[in-house]
Amino acid sequence: MTTLQLLTPEESALRLSRIQRLMADASVPAILVTDNANIYYLTGRVFDGYIYIPAEGAPLYFVRRPVDLGGDGVVRIRKPEQIAESLTLNIPPVVGLELDLLPYTSAQRISAIFPGSEIVNASPVLRAARSVKTEVEIGMIKQSGLRQERVYRMVPRLYRDGMTDLELQVEIERVSRLEGCLGQFRISGDSMELYMGNVLVGDNADNPTPYDFAMGGRGLDPSLPVGADGTMIRRGNSVMVDVNGNYTGYMTDMTRTFSLGEVDALAMRAHRCSIDICERLAAMGTPGAEAKQLYHTAEEMAREAGLERYFMGHAQKAGFVGHGVGIEINEMPVIAPRSRDILAEGNVIALEPKFVIPGVGAVGIENTYVMTSAGMQSLTNAPVEIIQFAQ
Amino acid sequence: MTTLQLLTPEESALRLSRIQRLMADASVPAILVTDNANIYYLTGRVFDGYIYIPAEGAPLYFVRRPVDLGGDGVVRIRKPEQIAESLTLNIPPVVGLELDLLPYTSAQRISAIFPGSEIVNASPVLRAARSVKTEVEIGMIKQSGLRQERVYRMVPRLYRDGMTDLELQVEIERVSRLEGCLGQFRISGDSMELYMGNVLVGDNADNPTPYDFAMGGRGLDPSLPVGADGTMIRRGNSVMVDVNGNYTGYMTDMTRTFSLGEVDALAMRAHRCSIDICERLAAMGTPGAEAKQLYHTAEEMAREAGLERYFMGHAQKAGFVGHGVGIEINEMPVIAPRSRDILAEGNVIALEPKFVIPGVGAVGIENTYVMTSAGMQSLTNAPVEIIQFAQ
Instruction: Search chain B and give the residue with CA nearest A250.
Output: B223
pLDDT in tens, A328-380: 999 999 999 999 999 999 999 999 999 999 999 999 999 999 999 999 999 99
d(CA A257, CA A199): 10
Residue A48 distance to chain B (closest CA, Å): 5
pLDDT at A89 over 70: no
The verdict on a CB contact (< 8 Å) between B221 and A248 is yes
The verdict on a CB contact (< 8 Å) between B223 and A180 is no
Q: Which residues on A lie below 8 Å from B189 (Cβ)?
A: 103
Residue A265 distance to chain B (closest CA, Å): 29
pLDDT in tens, B82-95: 998 888 768 899 99
> Mean pLDDT across the stretch A22-44?
97
d(CA A364, CA A379): 17
Interface probe with B: pick from A39, A46, A126, A204, most Cβ of B within 10 Å? A46
The verdict on a CB contact (< 8 Å) between A103 and B101 is yes
Q: Which residues on A lie below 8 Å from B193 (Cβ)?
A: 36, 46, 184, 186
pLDDT at A313 over 80: yes
Residue B370 distance to chain A (closest CA, Å): 21
pLDDT in tens, B356-388: 999 999 999 999 999 999 999 999 999 999 999
> Mean pLDDT across the stretch B84-108?
92
Which is higher by pLDDT, A206 or A85?
A206
Cα-to-chain-centroid distance, residue A329: 1
Residue A91: the pLDDT is: 85
Residue B255: the pLDDT is: 98
pLDDT at A193 over 90: no
Closest to A331 measured CA to CA, from A139, A127, A191, A193:
A127
pLDDT at B96 over 90: yes
Instruction: Search chain B and give the residue with CA nearest A64.
Output: B210
How many contacts does A have with B, using Cβ atoms within 8 A?
190
| Candidate from B100, B208, B315 with C-beta closest to A103 | B100
Run of H or E residues at A15:
helix A9-25
Interface probe with A: pick from B46, B76, B123, B329, most Cβ of A within 10 Å? B46
Residue B89: the pLDDT is: 67
The verdict on a CB contact (< 8 Å) between B46 and A327 is no
pLDDT at B191 over 90: no
Q: At what angle do helices A36-43 and A9-25 cross, to 10 degrees?
A: 130
> pLDDT band at B201, cuts 50/70/90?
very high
The verdict on a CB contact (< 8 Å) between A65 and B105 is no
Residue B192: the pLDDT is: 87
| DSSP annotation string for A318-382 | -S-SEEE-SSSSSEEEEESTT---B--TT-EEEE--EEEETTTEEEE-BEEEEEETTEEEES--S
The verdict on a CB contact (< 8 Å) between A182 and B174 is no
Mean pLDDT of chain A: 96
The verdict on a CB contact (< 8 Å) between A166 and B177 is yes
> Mean pLDDT across the stretch A85-92?
81
**Residues above pLDDT 90, as percent of chain A:** 94
Mean pLDDT of chain B: 96
pLDDT in tens, B176-187: 999 999 999 899
Closest to B376 measured CA to CA, from B314, B279, B285, B296:
B285
pLDDT in tens, A265-312: 999 999 999 999 999 999 999 999 999 999 999 999 999 999 999 999
d(CA B330, CA A296): 44
Residue A1: the pLDDT is: 83
Q: Which residues on A lie below 8 Å from B190 (Cβ)?
A: 35-36, 101, 103, 190
Residue B391: the pLDDT is: 78
Residue B37 distance to chain A (closest CA, Å): 8
The verdict on a CB contact (< 8 Å) between B182 and A221 is yes
Residue A217: the pLDDT is: 97
Residue B194: the pLDDT is: 85
The verdict on a CB contact (< 8 Å) between B223 and A173 is no
Interface probe with B: pick from A36, A104, A141, most Cβ of B within 10 Å? A104
Residue B280 distance to chain A (closest CA, Å): 31
Residue A229 distance to chain B (closest CA, Å): 11
Closest to A273 measured CA to CA, from A242, A311, A318:
A311
Tell me how crowded residue B17 is: count the other CB atoms within 10 A of its CB: 12
Q: How many helices (H) and strands (E) does chain A have?
A: 9, 21
Residues 6+ apart with CB under 8 A from B375: B282, B283, B285, B286
Residue B283 distance to chain A (closest CA, Å): 33
The verdict on a CB contact (< 8 Å) between A183 and B195 is yes
> Mean pLDDT across the stretch B69-89?
91
pLDDT in tens, B272-330: 999 999 999 999 999 999 999 999 999 999 999 999 999 999 999 999 999 999 999 99
pLDDT in tens, B33-69: 999 999 999 999 999 999 999 999 999 999 999 999 9
ipTM greater than 0.85: yes
